Amino acid sequence: MTRVSSLSRDQLTTRRQSLRRQRRISISQLLWRFWALSGLTAAMFWGATRPIWLIQSPQQINVTGNHLLSDEAVQSLMPLSYPQPLMKVEPEIVAQQLSDRGPIVTAAVTRQLLPPRLNVQVQERVPVAVVLPLGATDSAPDTQYLQAGFIDAQGAWMPLASFGLGSASPKLPTLQLRGLQPQYKRYWPQIYETIRNSPVEITEIDWRDPNNLVLQTALGTVYLGPYSQELEQQLATLDKMRNLPDQLSATELNAIDLSNPDVPSVAVVEPPPTDEEASPPGDKPKP
């Protein structure tokens, strides 16, 4: 019995020593991994801040998704000073600033290490009409509507300089919108969708008088009265009047009144009186 107990104590001592060694080895491995990882992280951070990892110029910004805006226009909207350490660029903040500063719906910015550059993916606002400025005497609570600009299908206003005006400018809309004011913007998406689908070409919308929405169309000037949900019916009635130019010339047609689309009316230009009609009774025209 004594010998068995002695052997058991020796085995336990050996086992405890083995466990201590394993524990020391595990701790050493953990410490080695920690220092190795820390060193690698520090080395990467140091390397990323070296000149080779700098954004030296806008040429290191790769822009995709743009069709109306040039690469240079998107690059100029990015609030970066050069040279800029790549790792100090905050993609989410830059993307938000792009949307705030330019005609851009959404933007995504990512960093690329090899070669060092920024990749920018944008979704542009597409202008659908040219906004003509309100006159100085017109009522405009928002000063932006005193200036020329563009508007997209959702009613977002953009400065005229958004897409450039040089020879390389993209094809811009021909539809003109006159008299736009902030209180009308909520109606614009429906108005534009209806007008876009009109069978009769519409070149201008004049909304300066809220009681009379005026259209310039292929058939002439059209009065619609106050904007209402009858716009689609009014344009359908206008389509039925396509033969009007066969009956009246452009000089005879003054305007088409569709304020009541069920009872359209046409205002004509009265011809100037002849000499005989202008002379008082009894007088004869001089030879």
pLDDT, greater one: 8 or 96: 96
State which fold the 127-268 domain adopts.
Rossmann fold (3.40.50)
State which fold the 53-124 domain adopts.
Ubiquitin-like (UB roll) (3.10.20)
Instruction: Please state at what angle helix 188-196 crosses helix 231-239, rounded to 10 degrees.
Output: 20
Least confident of 26-35, 147-156, 202-211: 26-35
* Residue ranges covered by each domain of the chain: 2-48, 53-124, 127-268
The model's pTM: 0.69
pLDDT at position 281 = 56
pLDDT, greater one: 6 or 54: 54
16: pLDDT strictly greater than 80: no
What are 118-161's pLDDT values in tens digits?
999 999 999 999 999 876 555 555 556 667 889 999 999 888 88
* Helical ranges in 211-273 per DSSP H: 231-239, 244-247
271: pLDDT strictly greater than 70: no
Q: Which tokens in the block code for residue 4?
A: 């068995």
251: pLDDT strictly greater than 90: no
Q: How many CB atoms lie within 10 A of CB 112?
A: 12
Do 127-268 and 53-124 fall under one CATH topology? no
What are 94-108's pLDDT values in tens digits?
999 999 998 999 999
